[in-house]
Structure 1
Amino acid sequence: MVKVFRCAARHGYAVEVSPFIPNRVACAASQYYGIAGCGSLLVLDETESGLSLIRSWQWGDGLFDVAWSESNEHVMVAGGGDGSLQLWDTANHTAPLRVAKEHTQEVYSVDWSQTRGENLVVSGSWDQTAKVWDPALNQSLITLRGHEGVIYSTIWSPHISGCFASASGDGTLRVWDVKGGVCRLAVPAHNAEILSCDWCKYDQNIVATGSVDCSMCVWDLRNVRQPVNQLRGHTYAIRRVKFSPFTKSLLASCSYDFTVRSEEPKCGASLTERMDGRSEITCSLRLSSIIHTCVASQLIDRLSDVPQVPHTHTAVD
């Protein structure tokens, strides 16, 4: 069963499944495709009858990404087109708890660390920098430079404390050591912009990238001379890639070709499921770490979640 939530005059950019509350998602959206206008942050719950709006806030610029706190079920951080990060609380109906504005251009990626004993936020920006923050967003703890293009994706390692990966318009995947304040590895992963990356939840050495060149690459960080697998099922740029929290080798992806795919590359590029026939671009994708059958996707001109399907499939609006 497919359930859809529509938000007038807003274009979806990111969707994040709550790590605490089953069937709850946060959605970041922008007016006029994020080029101009305002943004909205929405919290939705899936019910038997559909999707229920729990909370919504408006922001003076577009919102491009959102991440839930890993220690507080009510708190999330969002990244905006004005270079700001905002800390939001579902119990606060009016304004963010805090706003931090250190980036000089759009914040396109935010992520909350998941490793035990660590509570940090990382942001990636069009100003080519990544910043690491304490959970209250009081002040950035470190600014990391090295990319020569827009940073589209910043993702914490689920295995290694103080380690995150970033993907950039310069065609490189980079692995950063926050404690040392350095880039430990720079991989020339694609001959085109990389829009997304994600860590395997079962192997600290495996990272996937998705690029404008229509390919997904799976990398073993111990030997980056060539990818372990290269998947070419999409026909346009890949907007988001995500490893399954439940199946080691399952990768989900969404693309500007109007499709969402899930594939298991361990035995070659074997297609598990392809969802197409859509009239909107899917620009975000998230797999729940709580519910084995829950997949959330988001379209560029409407917000959508959450079909209940077998875990070997992905689903769309």
Structure 2
Amino acid sequence: MAWKSRTRNLQVFDTELSADTVEWCPLSSMQHLLACGTYQLQKGAGEEDAAPSRTGRLYLFEFRREISMSPPLTELQRMDTAAVLDLKWCHVPVSGGAVLGLAAANGELQLYTLSHSQEGGRSLLPLCSLEVGAERLALSLDWSTGRMDSSDVRVVCSDSAGCVSVLSLAEGALVSLSQWKAHDFEAWISAFSYWDTQLVYSGGDDCKLRGWDLRAGPACPTFTSKRHSMGVCSIHSSPHREHILATGSYDEQVLLWDGRNMRQPLSETPLGGGCGG
């Protein structure tokens, strides 16, 4: 007997470019706001060997369930950008407001702040940006604030050169704290341990999952796992249970780990389709 989904389609929105990342705002008074990033590879114009370009768009939506006669999702803003590889909202207010981080195909980590107009409208305004490296794509980002700790706001970012960067946010500006070569090929994903934000995880197209202790420096990873058989493209530290970590890969497996023993995962779940971030 075929399994039937109980989900129903509330609305369809055409983003025109390929939508590859969506994030609900985690702040309690703004959880009805949704950011969406898009990515499109455009073939080079003219000569056959012309370099392709990567274009994108950033959308901001508002979700209102109580408007029963209208589509619940309303577009508040669209902004053309370099292709968007990842989006993450900071889990805590920064200077009293919501901040959205964006990993862009031009190699920049970009931050946007949510503004409020006198008429009640909301929009994203550029706050600051920092290039993590020339001639590379910024591929992922994660905030250190997963357990709602606002005492030390930092960002980790991975890129197409296989590097991982850790940055701090202070007085409205991004400052690079460290950067190191973490993987042989693209470093698809990087993430903090939300329980000890001096620990960072990374995954790459070299099929390796690695851990790093920022106190010891990046000369040597704390562990290297080759348990995934293809590129590691998703990592998430549980904000609810200490030591618990989930990873996804192009091998279509989601692995659940205990960070105290990275030799063998706690469980393995086949999902079908690449398990991206």
TM-score normalised per structure 1: 0.68
The reply to whether residue 89 of structure 1 matches residue 140 of structure 2 is no
Counterpart of 1:201 (choices 239, 245, 248) is 239
RMSD (Å), alpha carbons:
2.3
* Corresponding residue SS for 2:126: coil
* Corresponding residue SS for 2:251: coil
Q: Is the CA contact 2:25–2:31 (under 8 Å) kept in the aligned structure 1?
A: yes
* Corresponding residue SS for 1:38: strand
Q: Deviations over 1:141-169 (max 9, x none)?
A: 11132322211111222211322221111
Match of 1:51 in 2: 73
Match of 2:140 in 1: 109
Q: What one-letter code is carried by the residue in structure 2 that aligns with 1:133?
A: L
Counterpart of 1:79 (choices 78, 103, 123) is 103
What's the offset of the Cα at 1:131? 0.6
**Inter-partner Cα distance in structure 1 for 2:127 and 2:201:** 27
Shift of the 141–7 alpha-carbon distance from structure 1 to 2, 3 Å rule, reads farther
Shift of the 41–225 alpha-carbon distance from structure 1 to 2, 3 Å rule, reads same
The reply to whether residue 22 of structure 1 matches residue 31 of structure 2 is yes
**Inter-partner Cα distance in structure 2 for 1:140 and 1:203:** 30
Counterpart of 2:53 (choices 36, 39, 42) is 36
Q: What one-letter code is carried by the residue in structure 2 that aligns with 1:89?
A: T
Q: What one-letter code is carried by the residue in structure 2 that aligns with 1:14?
A: T
What's the offset of the Cα at 1:110? 1.1
**Inter-partner Cα distance in structure 1 for 2:242 and 2:16:** 41
**Inter-partner Cα distance in structure 1 for 2:256 and 2:42:** 30
Q: Is the CA contact 1:11–1:32 (under 8 Å) kept in the aligned structure 2?
A: no
Q: Which runs of 5+ in 2 are unaligned?
A: 1-7, 44-51, 117-122
Counterpart of 1:66 (choices 52, 68, 87) is 87
Counterpart of 1:191 (choices 199, 206, 229) is 229
What's the offset of the Cα at 1:65? 0.8
Q: Is the CA contact 1:27–1:41 (under 8 Å) kept in the aligned structure 2?
A: yes
Q: Deviations over 1:119-154 (max 9, x none)?
A: 001111111111111124433111132322211111
Q: Deviations over 1:169-225 (max 9, x none)?
A: 111111222233233222222121111111123333221211122211112222223
Q: Percent identity?
A: 22
What's the offset of the Cα at 1:239? 2.0
Shift of the 37–225 alpha-carbon distance from structure 1 to 2, 3 Å rule, reads closer
Q: Deviations over 1:229-263 (max 9, x none)?
A: 111242x32224xxxxxxxxxxxxxxxxxxxxxxx
Match of 1:144 in 2: 180
TM-score normalised per structure 2: 0.77
**Inter-partner Cα distance in structure 1 for 2:21 and 2:42:** 12
What's the offset of the Cα at 1:14? 0.9
**Inter-partner Cα distance in structure 1 for 2:124 and 2:191:** 29
The 5-angstrom pairing of residues 1-317 of structure 1 reads 1-4=8-11, 6-20=13-27, 21-32=30-41, 36-48=53-65, 49=70, 50-59=72-81, 61-69=82-90, 70-72=92-94, 73-91=97-115, 96-104=126-134, 105-114=136-145, 115=147, 116=149, 117-135=151-169, 136-182=172-218, 183-234=221-272, 236-240=273-277
Equivalent pairs counted in the alignment come to 238
**Inter-partner Cα distance in structure 1 for 2:235 and 2:174:** 27
Answer 1 or 2: higher relative contact order, Cα 8 Å, separation at least 6: 1
